[in-house]
Chain A
Amino acid sequence: MADTSLSQTEARSAPAAPPRVGRIAGILHRNETLRGYLLMSPTMLIMTIGILVPFLILLVMSFWTREGFGFDTTLTAHNYTRVWNEPIFGALLQRSFWISGVATVVTVALCYPMAYYVAFHVHRNKMMWIILMTLPFWTSYLLRVFAWKVILGYQGVINSGLMSVGVIEAPLEFLLYSQTAVIITLAHAWAAFAILPLYVSLEKIDKSLLEAATDLGDGPMARFFRITLPLSMPGIIAATFLIFIPTTGDYITPALLGGPDGAMIGNFIQLQFGAINNWPMGATLSIVLMLWISAIALVFLFVTRKAQERIA
């Protein structure tokens, strides 16, 4: 949503200030820029206090070490070497990326047909459909995860339901506290993040291209794979990012449904700031997580870019 509105903004605001000549115009132009910055400044101030400054301090702290109940503030890469050398950190990171990777693929795959349906086959009350599909997303994330705990629990909806109809004798134990539980919950909870960008990219596709393909003898399958899918690639990429990046650091879902097998890096970061009380290590893990996410995102972008060039 944000992406499209941004590009529209730039397209529209550009002609609003046509290139002018002369000194006064120059000052005016500069003034306008200044006025724009002035308007932005309160927002930027809050963002700086809330994001930039905390980040820098987090970065600095990641080079500290714990000393008793306080910190040793001499800068050292000790935490980073620990993260690099001790297998538990790598394993946790790997598991986090695996879980959210699978959840991302599942979500995008399941949401694609839905977005496709609304974009191509719904002609009345489209807005209603979009609101319906995204409404649950706005409600409490905690409660949606809690709902899955109610469903997958040892005496939850599935187990007690199956037992009362007599399909199973004892509760299925693998439902709760597993990676599967985390993946199911993530896929369900983040669906809206996939639907919106997918829908936007599908909706934008020029229908006459599809007609052209049909006229030239393409069947429905060929039409889909040669036109619809490649043209909706930006939506697929956006959806992948919008789900993969925030879910890798998710805390609530693995905390409530993961158990020991489904614990992710977010839980470990929280532990460092909580029970383990090693804040510098928590800071280091946060920075490492950010770096890994950026690296994966860059590689993914690069690969898809190459793939698209191949198709085009």
Chain B
Amino acid sequence: MSDQGTYIKRPNRPLQIYAMVFLFVLYLPILFIPMFSFNDSIYVRFPLQGFTFQWYGELWNRQPVWNALWNSVKVGAVVAVISTILGVVAARAITRYRMPGKSALVTFIMMPLVIPGIIFGVALLVLMSRMGVPLSLYTVTLGHLIVCLPFAVATLLPRFEGFDPSMEEASADLGENGWWTFWRVTFPMVMPGVVASLLLTFTISFDEFIMAFFLTGTDPTLPMYIWGQLRFPQEFPSVLALSSLILFVSFILVFVAQWIGRLGLDKDT
């Protein structure tokens, strides 16, 4: 690492500045949301009018916000648990067994990552209405499962790949059956991936809009509630306050998830 890499290692000033500006611009837009949420004016504009917690106080006393929050948490928790379990099972199958048509299966699972969400939304809407299933939080949950599964699998796959199968063989040789081998050897090894997947899928479901837009019945999720409020300019400040809280929680969850999910994975980077 001494001589040979030097010209690559030489710091590149313009590029460094570009990177700083890039990160700044990446974060700037979402920083305006919390900034204006403390602004003492119902208009979202400069100059700032003074500091206030008024909009947060207003949120606290609003029953529909609490309902929507509870709906989102319920859906998010169910989606996180189911998609992570399915992700564990699928990742295990993909990494451990030789299956003809495996790559086709994986492509199928990953499809929702690239196909426009609106198409899944309307397709599920059509299915539900043809089967006479009323739209509810259950239909939203199904929609979110489709969106979250690829992320669960993508988070868990590297964990199962980095897993040495001889550990399981050793456990089997020492007399454990398949069930206990899974819980005492496999599961602890993939645990960080499981935690990361739970946090990520919860956040994705919690923030998801387009599926909920087509599949929500009478109970709105939090993003649907916000969408409804966006029509009223006088509601902007409280929407900003609510958005700031959501952003704050999402950032923390995702940061923890990313950190845990990558622990011990790419030591070289």
Partner-B contacts on A (CB < 8 A): 1-2, 5-6, 8-10, 12-14, 16-17, 29, 32-33, 35-37, 39-40, 42-44, 46-47, 49-51, 53-55, 57-58, 61, 110, 113-114, 116-118, 120-121, 123, 126-127, 131-136, 138-144, 146-148, 150-151, 153, 155-157, 159-161, 163-164, 188, 191, 203, 207, 210-211, 214, 241-242, 245-252, 256, 266, 269-270, 273, 279, 282-283, 286, 289-290, 293
Interface: B62 (CB within 8 A): no
Please report the C-alpha to C-alpha distance between residue A249 and residue B259 in the assembled complex, in whole angstroms: 32
Smallest Cβ distance from B80 to chain A, in angstroms? 14
Q: Interface residues of B toward A: which range? A: 35 or more
Which residues in A have their C-beta under 8 angstroms from that of B109?
Answer: 43, 47
Please report the C-alpha to C-alpha distance between residue A5 and residue B165 in the assembled complex, in whole angstroms: 17
Which residues in A have their C-beta under 8 angstroms from that of B209?
Answer: 140-142, 252
Cβ-closest 5 pairs across A and B: A249-B116, A36-B97, A160-B45, A54-B123, A140-B207
Q: Is the CB of B250 within 8 A of A2?
A: no
Q: Is the CB of A1 within 8 A of B119?
A: no
Most buried by B among A9, A29, A242, A290: A9
Which residues in B have their C-beta under 8 angstroms from that of A53?
Answer: 127
Known contacts A5-B158, A13-B98, A131-B258: A43-B26 contact under CB 8 Å: no
Partner of A266, one of B114, B116, B206, B243: B116
Known contacts A5-B157, A140-B207, A151-B29: A286-B123 contact under CB 8 Å: yes
Please report the C-alpha to C-alpha distance between residue A250 and residue B115 in the assembled complex, in whole angstroms: 10
Known contacts A51-B111, A139-B251: A12-B116 contact under CB 8 Å: no
Partner of A211, one of B4, B103, B118, B157: B4
Most buried by B among A120, A245, A249: A249
Partner of A54, one of B32, B127, B150, B230: B127
Which residues in A have their C-beta under 8 angstroms from that of B19?
Answer: 113-114, 117-118
Please report the C-alpha to C-alpha distance between residue A99 and residue B123 in the assembled complex, in whole angstroms: 24
Q: Report the nearest B residue to A249, measured CB to CB.
A: B116
Interface: B145 (CB within 8 A): yes
Q: Report the nearest A residue to B11, measured CB to CB.
A: A121
Partner of B44, one of A140, A156, A191: A156
- 29 A-B pairs within 8 Å (CB atoms) are namely A5-B161, A14-B98, A17-B97, A17-B98, A35-B97, A36-B99, A40-B93, A42-B86, A43-B153, A46-B146, A47-B108, A47-B109, A47-B149, A53-B127, A54-B127, A121-B15, A126-B269, A138-B204, A139-B254, A140-B247, A148-B29, A151-B29, A155-B45, A164-B46, A188-B26, A207-B8, A242-B113, A286-B122, A293-B116
Interface: B55 (CB within 8 A): no
Which residues in A have their C-beta under 8 angstroms from that of B269?
Answer: 126-127, 203
Which residues in A have their C-beta under 8 angstroms from that of B226?
Answer: 142-143, 146
Partner of B254, one of A54, A135, A242: A135
Q: Is the CB of A142 within 8 A of B207?
A: yes
Smallest Cβ distance from A185 to chain B, in angstroms? 9
Q: Is the CB of B114 within 8 A of A16?
A: no
Known contacts A50-B142, A131-B259: A40-B99 contact under CB 8 Å: yes
Q: A160-B46, A251-B213 are in contact. List 20 more A-B contacts (CB 8 A).
A: A12-B161, A17-B98, A36-B98, A40-B99, A46-B146, A57-B123, A58-B119, A113-B18, A131-B255, A131-B259, A133-B23, A133-B26, A140-B209, A147-B30, A163-B46, A245-B116, A249-B118, A279-B126, A289-B119, A290-B119
